[in-house]
Amino acid sequence: MACALLLCISTAAPAQYNKPFESGEPAKMVEARQKMVKWLKRAVKGITPEVLNAFNTVPRHKFMHSRDKGIAYKNKWKSIGFGQTITNPWMVAYMTHLLDVAPTSRVLEIGTGSGYQSSILAQLSNHVHSVEIVRPLAERTHKIQEALGYTAKIKHKIGDGYFGWQENGPYDRIMVTCAADHIPVPLIQQLKPGGLMLIPVGGHFQRGNIYLVTKQDDGSIRRKVVATGTFVPMRRADISKKR
Ligand code: SAH
């Protein structure tokens, strides 16, 4: 049932976004995070200093239940309520690394969840968009990201991410953090030629393939399996309305 994990470090992010996390944090949290980053440097081959810097900056413990804060910097996925999970740091780091985000990249994430992944992406790009289908979870996460100073860099939408977020597209990069049973056509349409998308495809709570999808100049796509993993399923809007 594990979701993906990731970590990074960014020199590209404006200094003001780093400040909220540098002040008032217990030293043991800072140390635990630095230890995680050291581990990620070894565990994710080729991970860049920018990505590592993002992981060193974003306080993962703030996106978790207070009872789990002691293990926030271990390589563990955890429940965040509403039947959803925060992905483990390795998966977040690996997927962030593969997505190859630049400060100018327009990025779309499907599955805001805890907000940890989109906060990492916001250290790397100034144009992050994130869609979440579970309204109360999305509203809680938006408040956390606002308190941490991320809302200037992340635009949020509550809705069915199967359809992407057309008004703000097309995107250079799309990261899907829930498992679909196929690659949604609207997401392919909203990817720019030359763009990259990472998407887990698999059955409900079963291990599935994570595809790296590249869009060619003629609009066709190429895809290759870059990892396997277990992600929470992509829900559809009609299901969520019954909640
Ligand atoms: N990126 C998240 C991982 C979240 S787990 C993080 O950093 O913590 C996947 C998330 O996808 C869950 O919050 C789930 O509610 C959401 N989700 C599932 N189906 C969705 C859909 N159709 N559209 C948008 N979000 C969806």
Measured from CB, residues less than 6 Å from any atom of ligand 1 are 3, 84-87, 110-111, 113-114, 116-117, 131-134, 137, 160-162, 177-178, 232, 234-235
SS3 content of the chain, % helix, strand, coil (to 5): 40, 25, 35
Shortest-distance Cα residue to atom 12 of ligand 1: 113
Task: Please give the average per-residue pLDDT across 166-184, as a whole number.
Answer: 96
Give the ligand 1 atom nearest the CA of 82: 15
CATH value of 27-242 in 3.40.50.1220, 3.30.428.10, 3.40.50.150, 3.40.50.800: 3.40.50.150
Domain ranges of the chain: 27-242
Nearest-CA residue for atom 10 of ligand 1: 111
pLDDT at 185 over 90: yes
pTM, two decimal places: 0.89
| pLDDT greater than 90 at residue 9 | no
**Cα–Cα distance between 24 and 34 in angstroms, integer?**
16
Q: Read off the amino acid at residue 229.
A: G
Segment 35-49 shows an average pLDDT of 98
Rounded Cα distance between 222 and 215, Å, is: 7
- Cα 78 to averaged position of ligand 1 atoms, centre (Å): 14
Distance from Cα 151 to the centre of ligand 1, integer Å: 18
Can you list the positions of beta strands (E) in the chain?
78-81, 84-86, 106-110, 127-132, 154-158, 171-176, 191-201, 208-215, 221-229
Cβ 73 vs Cβ 60: under 8 Å: yes
